[in-house]
């Protein structure tokens, strides 16, 4: 008698797991395909989840309902951001073998607030509290891509060249930022330091506002552009996982892409 409710809960969990940051809205056939549940079971559970506010129905599709978001809010707020961030950075560092760090905007600059260093002896120096310009590097590109007012501020002043690859033309920087927003990530090589590469993706809060940039960095010797491109999925997944863990969501334009 005790097993039946647990079986139902397992099926409900499978349905809810079918919704992700990359696919926040799904049709019943897509949910059936993702869960492997029979058609009749899927439709019955979807109807029940909509009735209780766990899901919302939009035409022929479903999305997570406001009731679940309401419950998630207190849990996310009760956990310190550093507590959520540290394991994500360590997992990303272990997966890719390069330094993983997190940047956020502070007073017109970007500052590193957490880092998991690579075990390699040859590495780019990074530490918590390190401040860098926003117009160079992948994390700066990501921050500017989702911070229009900050982009206006940065491009209204001279953009000093740090290397031969630094973008110093405001219009060119705006184009690069637009490309970053369209792609959902940024790769830069040699913009801040020669022979250094970086790859970053955005993390968002519960309002869809940018929190900062999940970043992997290292020497171009180990991270040429083609290697950075092979790391894109891992970095985006890590950023999306942190967004989800915080109870965050992508802005509407990104959520439907």
pLDDT in tens, 152-164: 999 999 999 999 9
Taking the CB of residue 253, how many other CB atoms lie within 10 A of it?
10
The percentage of the chain sitting over the pLDDT mark of 90, rounded to a whole number, equals 65
> Residue 123: is it exposed, middle or buried by C-beta count within 10 angstroms (0-12/13-18/19+)?
middle
Mean pLDDT of 35-62: 92
Residue 117's alpha-carbon distances to 82, 126, 138, 243, in angstroms, are 16, 8, 17, 22
Domains, the chain, in order of start with CATH, read 3-74 (1.10.10.10), 79-255 (3.30.450.40)
Tell me: the pLDDT tens digits for 86-107? 899 999 999 999 999 999 998 8
pLDDT value at residue 1: 37
pLDDT confidence bin for 2, thresholds 50/70/90: very low
Identify the band that residue 252 occupies on the pLDDT scale cut at 50, 70 and 90: confident
pLDDT at 206 over 90: no
Q: How far is CA 70 from the centre of its chain?
A: 21
Given a cut of 70, whether residue 21 has pLDDT beyond it is: no
CB 43 within 8 A of CB 29: no
Give the pLDDT confidence score for residue 257 in this predicted structure: 38
117 or 246, which is more confident?
A: 117
Q: pLDDT band for position 129 (50/70/90)?
A: confident
Per-residue model confidence (pLDDT) at position 44: 93
Is a pLDDT exceeding 80 seen at residue 202? Answer: yes
Other beta carbons within 10 Å of 120? 12
**Res. 207 pLDDT band, cuts 50 70 90:** confident
The arithmetic mean of pLDDT across residues 44-48, rounded, is 93
């Amino acid at each position: 008698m005790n097993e039946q409710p647990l079986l139902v809960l397992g099926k409900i969990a499978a349905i809810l797991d079918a919704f992700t940051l990359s696919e926040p809205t799904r049709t019943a056939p897509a949910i059936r395909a993702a869960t492997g549940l029979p058609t009749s079971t899927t439709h019955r559970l979807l109807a029940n989840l909509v009735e209780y506010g766990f899901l919302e129905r939009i035409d022929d599709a479903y999305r997570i309902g406001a009731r679940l978001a309401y419950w998630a809010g207190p849990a996310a707020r009760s956990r310190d951001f550093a507590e959520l961030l540290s394991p994500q950075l360590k997992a990303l560092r272990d997966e890719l073998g390069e330094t993983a760090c997190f940047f956020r905007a502070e007073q017109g600059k970007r500052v590193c607030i957490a880092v998991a260093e690579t075990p390699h002896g040859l590495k780019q120096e990074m530490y918590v509290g390190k401040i860098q310009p926003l117009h160079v590097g992948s994390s700066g590109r990501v921050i500017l891509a989702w911070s229009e007012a900050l982009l206006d501020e940065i491009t209204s002043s001279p953009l000093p060249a740090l290397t031969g690859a630094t973008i110093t033309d405001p219009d060119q920087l705006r184009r690069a930022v637009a490309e970053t927003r369209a792609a959902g990530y940024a790769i830069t090589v040699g913009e801040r330091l020669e022979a250094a590469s970086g790859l970053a993706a955005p993390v968002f809060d519960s309002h869809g506002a940018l929190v900062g940039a999940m970043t992997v960095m290292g020497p171009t010797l180990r991270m040429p552009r083609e290697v950075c491109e092979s790391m894109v999925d891992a970095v985006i997944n890590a950023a999306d996982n942190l967004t989800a863990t915080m109870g965050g969501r992508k802005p509407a334009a990104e959520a439907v892409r």
